[in-house]
Amino acid sequence: MDIRELIDITELSSIATEGPPPPPPPPLLQPHHSALSSSPLPPPLPPKKLLATTNTPPPPPPPLHSNSQMGAPTSSLVLKSPHNLKGQGQTRKANLKPYHWLKLTRAVQGSLWAEAQKSDEAATAPDFDISEIEKLFSAVNLSSNSENNGGKSGRRARPKVEKVQLIELKRAYNCEIMLSKVKIPLPDLMSSVLALDESVIDVDQVDNLIKFCPTKEEAELLKGFIGNKETLGRCEQFFLELLKVPRVETKLRVFSFKIQFHSQVTDLRRGLNTIHSATNEVRGSTKLKRIMQTILSLGNALNHGTARGSAIGFHLDSLLKLTDTRSRNSKMTLMHYLCKVLAEKLPGLLNFPKDMVSLEAATNIQLKYLAEEMQATSKGLEKVVQEFTASETDCQISKHFHMNLKEFLSVAEGEVRSLASLYSTVGGSADALALYFGEDPARVPFEQVVSTLQNFVRIFVRSHEENCKQVEFEKKRAQKEAENEKLKKGVYNEN
């Protein structure tokens, strides 16, 4: 037997001997006190077992007296859940801490919530003691008007204003962290956004604002709030500022695009110009052309009389196979031999890498990446134009945004047109480079062409340096042998 049953039995025995409880006293109107002190406490309800055995209905709860208008929030709220509150009609004396859940608007047929709506299911819910809930989950400390030992009523502590939180707790917390890094008031922040002022806010902060734009559900929740908006949390107040601007998320994305536009266009143009320069340098190098012809002659000399002989050309990746063929003593590769022949007969060709100064930089650029950047820039500008058109019919709040966007578009549209023309030219040059070496651009893309050429240049330069070191080594060895031979002759003559 638990303590609640013991209390019920004790109360039953007491009531059985003393008779039914007296009716409650009439309420006292005290207009000069707050709602907490003006509302009298309701009488205790008789135990359930007694109600079941008597025909006398319980006395009605005392009327509530309030001077507030209908719909205005008061400090005394009546809990309305019919099934799970012990003592239905009890008056809540204080605001309770909220339970941050996401409320369903309807019970789907077949769900447990639909089943819970049935009377037999609802009856199984446990009773909750509102006084206990107030003690445990009150938003502020409850003050008591009970008399002290001296007969004086205790002073009530001034309740602390509790911020109303409508947004999910974790999202609101992250939003407030983001806002803590913004050192200007929220209205000024939005004014800077609408003015497209890059000196006040950077692209990272704008992107964070985009992440915390209110969802449709959050917007409806905030629009339905009828209380004092000053009591809302900072996240909620920030959302309200955003909701003042039509299509605020689109405007923020336009602002982000504008901030990054100059640097993106500059980088894209630099990459396209590098590729354009590299293709022109490679195709315009007469030294590279003569070296390729020399390699063709060398290969035909080695492959004479075989199926590989009498070639009119070779695939580009064959350049890297010059190191695979080695001399009989394995001290020299075909690349070393090529460098040796050129050094002896065509030394002016050895510095051919200087004709292709943009080649190495071109190997670090992916045409696919440039294509994606070009497409993103074009589509981004299209969205800017769409928002520019839409903002013409906005309210006064978008006036400066529309004017500044018009100024930006007058420059950006020309930049993108010029960039698109350069991109088309460079794409043709990249394909032409593969065709220049007899390759199919679909099978040997630009990236593979410049990578192969750069590796060939690197191996060629290294092989030539090794040849030079070998020549210097042999020269010193010959000098030393000559000196030793001279010494031997001198000793022989003395003897």
Per-residue pLDDT tens over the stretch 305-340: 888 888 899 999 999 999 998 888 888 899 999 999
173 and 232 fall within a common domain: yes
Look at residue 69 in the predicted model and tell me its pLDDT.
39
pLDDT tens for each residue of 211-239 = 999 999 999 988 888 888 888 888 998 99
In degrees, rounded to 5, the angle at the alpha carbon of residue 344 between the alpha carbons of residues 342 and 345 is 65
Number of structural domains the chain divides into:
2
358 and 309 fall within a common domain: yes
In a domain, 368, yes or no: yes
235 and 312 fall within a common domain: no
In a domain, 156, yes or no: no
Look at residue 122 in the predicted model and tell me its pLDDT.
56
Average pLDDT, stretch 463-476? 88
Asked if 190 and 242 touch (Cβ cutoff 8 Å), the reply is yes
Look at residue 44 in the predicted model and tell me its pLDDT.
46
Asked if 239 and 222 touch (Cβ cutoff 8 Å), the reply is yes
184 and 269 fall within a common domain: no
Look at residue 36 in the predicted model and tell me its pLDDT.
35
Binned at pLDDT 50, 70 and 90, residue 77 comes out as very low
Take residue 136 and report the two structure tokens written for it: 């445990």
Average pLDDT, stretch 423-452? 95
Q: What's the predicted TM-score (pTM) here?
A: 0.63
For residue 465, pLDDT over 90 is answered with yes
214 and 343 fall within a common domain: no
Average pLDDT, stretch 61-75? 41
For residue 209, pLDDT over 70 is answered with yes
Name the region of 305 (left: φ>0; alpha: ψ -120 to 50; beta: rest): left
Instruction: State which of 435, 453, 471 marks the end of a domain.
Output: 453
Look at residue 473 in the predicted model and tell me its pLDDT.
83
Average pLDDT, stretch 130-139? 70
| Angle, helices 234-243/169-180, rounded to nearest 10 degrees | 80
For residue 396, pLDDT over 70 is answered with yes
What percentage of the chain has pLDDT greater than the value 70?
A: 68
Look at residue 17 in the predicted model and tell me its pLDDT.
42
Instruction: State which of 236, 257, 278 marks the end of a domain.
Output: 257
Strand, helix or coil at 34? Answer: coil
- The whole-angstrom separation of Cα 168 and Cα 376 is 34
302 and 390 fall within a common domain: yes
Residue scoring higher pLDDT (492 or 265): 265
3-state secondary structure 83-134: CCEECCCCEECCCECCCCCCCCCCCCCCCHHHHHCCHHHHCCCCCEEHHHHH
Binned at pLDDT 50, 70 and 90, residue 359 comes out as very high
198 and 318 fall within a common domain: no
CB-facing half-sphere around the CA of 207: CA atoms within 13 A: 6
3-state secondary structure 433-486: HHHHCCCCCCCCCHHHHHHHHHHHHHHHHHHHHHHHHHHHHHHHHHHHHHHHHH
Average pLDDT, stretch 27-44? 42
Look at residue 60 in the predicted model and tell me its pLDDT.
53
For residue 137, pLDDT over 80 is answered with no
In a domain, 238, yes or no: yes
In a domain, 93, yes or no: no
For residue 426, pLDDT over 90 is answered with yes
Burial 353-374 (b: 16+ CB within 10 A, else e): beebebbbbbbebebeebeebb
250 and 273 fall within a common domain: no
Residue scoring higher pLDDT (394 or 212): 212
Asked if 453 and 318 touch (Cβ cutoff 8 Å), the reply is no
- The whole-angstrom separation of Cα 130 and Cα 92 is 7
Instruction: From residue 264, give the alpha-carbon distance in Å to each of 147, 242, 251, 269, 416.
Output: 74, 28, 19, 9, 11
Q: What one-character DSSP code corresponds to residue 209?
A: H
pLDDT tens for each residue of 87-117 = 455 565 567 767 655 666 676 776 666 766 7
In a domain, 230, yes or no: yes
241 and 271 fall within a common domain: no
Q: What one-character DSSP code corresponds to residue 409?
A: H
Average pLDDT, stretch 50-70? 43
Average pLDDT, stretch 151-164? 58
pLDDT tens for each residue of 235-256 = 998 999 899 989 999 999 999 9
Asked if 457 and 318 touch (Cβ cutoff 8 Å), the reply is no
Look at residue 119 in the predicted model and tell me its pLDDT.
62
| Angle, helices 399-436/367-390, rounded to nearest 10 degrees | 160
For residue 175, pLDDT over 60 is answered with yes
What percentage of the chain has pLDDT greater than the value 90?
A: 43
Q: What one-character DSSP code corresponds to residue 33?
A: S
Instruction: State which of 228, 257, 286 marks the end of a domain.
Output: 257
355 and 225 fall within a common domain: no
Asked if 467 and 342 touch (Cβ cutoff 8 Å), the reply is no
Asked if 269 and 422 touch (Cβ cutoff 8 Å), the reply is yes
244 and 391 fall within a common domain: no
Look at residue 453 in the predicted model and tell me its pLDDT.
97
In a domain, 27, yes or no: no
Q: Which domain holds residue 280?
A: 265-453
Residue 469: name the closest of 331, 353, 292 by CA: 331
CATH number of the domain within which 338 lies: 1.20.58.2220
For residue 2, pLDDT over 70 is answered with no
322 and 378 fall within a common domain: yes
In a domain, 274, yes or no: yes
In a domain, 296, yes or no: yes
- The whole-angstrom separation of Cα 18 and Cα 349 is 123
- The whole-angstrom separation of Cα 39 and Cα 487 is 127
Look at residue 437 in the predicted model and tell me its pLDDT.
94
Look at residue 400 in the predicted model and tell me its pLDDT.
86
Binned at pLDDT 50, 70 and 90, residue 459 comes out as very high
Asked if 355 and 292 touch (Cβ cutoff 8 Å), the reply is no
- What's the chain's average pLDDT? 78
Look at residue 116 in the predicted model and tell me its pLDDT.
66
